[in-house]
Amino acid sequence: MSSLWPAGPRRVLVVGIDGVRLDLLPELHTPHLDSVAAAGFLAPVEVDEATPTMSGPCWATIATGVTVAKHGVFGNHFGGNRLDVFPDFTTRLAAVHRRRTFAVGGWEPLFLARQGGPLFAAPGRLAYIAPLADTPEDWEVCDERATAEAVAVLTGDDDPQASFVYLGAVDETAHFLGCGEEYRRSIETADARLGRLLAALRARPGYAEEAWTVIVVTDHGHVDQGGHGGRSALERTAWVAACGPGLLPGGEVLPVRHVDVAAHVYAALEIVPDPHWTLDGRPFTPASAAAPATSS
Ligand SMILES: [Zn+2]
């Protein structure tokens, strides 16, 4: 299977889209997410019992690879966190492994020293794009600018080895307008932005030789009228889609958790986690890899 991917430099792009309900995806036009799923997988993720179905704790788990018991982010105020001990992957890769990393988005506690943040403390390059106001319209503008910034960085001289791009308009739309038509259109708009990010990778001069892992992930769902934080199936059901080295096109994977995202980022860059990091996640694993080998 190794022949499916170039032997050249490893690269990882993680795209986080806030608050996308899994149950609605089959009805929506999301060709770019579909392309990632077809090249790898799209799997449900259940937010575990100890984790409030809120963006703060869920993104902290996704970015650090440890649960709330370790990173200590229990809500959308990040105060009292232990992110200095359990850093996000862009910070750890930059500090420990001297990798070029990049993070961009518009939600303050992820990127700024506000509300007890930031989660993404010290990537090699950081871009915060402020929404003018917390409205669906202003968040669409914010996400548009974050996408443009990411396209520029991904096709520029920085050549980040691991990147995180945050898109927040979908979640904001659900909070304002519920999970109706506007919410569905916002998910499709986010997918179009994902498409521009994927096109940026393909436009890189060295793309043919590079081995890219792409991970698309949401943090939580929403109830029909918009809102989350509870334990209903709609709120606690998130999802991850990914493709790249080690993953099989259209293949089944073993159950995926949010803590597995950062673990997979390290694996995709061929970095063996130090046991002292005490990661709670493991790389995404094709189900076939866990079964006894039957042939070839
Ligand atoms: Zn929300």
C-alpha 172 – ligand 1 centre gap (Å): 6
**What is the 282 CA–ligand 1 centroid distance (Å)?**
27
pLDDT mean values, one per 10 residues, the chain (296 residues):
73 98 98 97 97 98 98 97 98 97 98 98 98 97 98 97 98 98 98 98 96 98 98 98 94 94 98 97 87 50
C-alpha 55 to ligand 1 mean position (Å)? 6
Distance from the alpha carbon of residue 50 to the mean position of ligand 1, in angstroms: 18
The rounded Å distance from CA 54 to ligand 1 centre is: 7
Cα 267 to Cα 26, 132, 158, 264, 273: the distances in Å are 30, 37, 22, 5, 8
Length of the chain: 296
| Predicted pLDDT at 286 | 86
Calculate how far, in angstroms, residue 110's C-alpha sits from the geometric centre of ligand 1: 14
CA of 168 to the centre of ligand 1 (A): 9
Delineate the domains of the chain, giving CATH numbers in brackets. Answer: 14-290 (3.40.720.10)
Q: What is the pLDDT of residue 295?
A: 47
- Furthest CA-CA distance within the chain: 58
User: For the segment 89-127, what is each residue's pLDDT rounded down to a tens digit?
Assistant: 999 999 999 999 999 999 999 999 999 999 999 999 999
Supply the pLDDT for residue 140: 98
Count of other CB atoms within 10 angstroms of residue 270: 9
State the pairing for strand pair 211-217/237-243: antiparallel
Q: Is residue 123 helix, strand or coil?
A: coil
239 alpha carbon – ligand 1 mean position (Å): 15
User: What sign does the dihedral 66-54-221-199 (CA atoms) show?
Assistant: negative
Prediction pTM value = 0.96
User: What are the backbone dihedrals phi and psi of residue 122, each rounded to the nearest 5 degrees, phi first?
Assistant: -150, 60
- Determine contact, residues 236/50, Cβ cutoff 8 Å: no
- Find the 139 Cα to ligand 1 centroid distance in Å: 12
The CA 74 to ligand 1 mean position distance, Å, reads: 14
Burial classification of residue 24, based on how many CB atoms lie within 10 Å of its CB (0-12 exposed, 13-18 middle, 19 or more buried): middle
Q: What is the CA radius of gyration of the chain?
A: 18
Residue 217 forms beta bridges with which residues?
16, 240
DSSP 2: G
User: In the prediction, which pLDDT does 7 show?
Assistant: 84
Tell me the residue type at 267.
Answer: A
Distance CA 255, CA 213 (A): 19
Q: How far is the CA of 102 from the centre of ligand 1 (A)?
A: 24
Distance 29 CA to ligand 1 centre (A): 22
Give the per-residue pLDDT at 290. 62
CB atoms within 10 A of CB 34: 15
> Residues 239, 34: contact at Cβ < 8 Å?
no
Distance separating alpha carbons of residues 2 and 132, to the nearest angstrom:
46
Residues with Cβ within 8 Å of 96's Cβ and at least 6 positions away in sequence, in order, are none
CA of 27 relative to ligand 1 center, distance in Å: 22
Distance CA 84, CA 50 (A): 21
Cα of 174 vs centre of ligand 1, distance in Å, is 8
CA of 20 from ligand 1 middle (Å) equals 10
Q: Is 188 exposed, middle or buried (0-12, 13-18, 19+ CB in 10 A)?
A: middle
Give, in degrees to the nearest 5, the angle at Cα 242 between 203 and 145.
50
Distance (Å) from CA 19 to ligand 1 centroid = 6
What three-state secondary structure class fits 13? strand
Q: Please tell me the distance between residue 163's alpha carbon and the centre of ligand 1 in angstroms.
A: 22
Alpha carbon distance 116, 76 (integer Å): 9
pLDDT digits (tens, 9 = 90+) for 52-80: 999 999 999 999 999 999 999 999 999 99
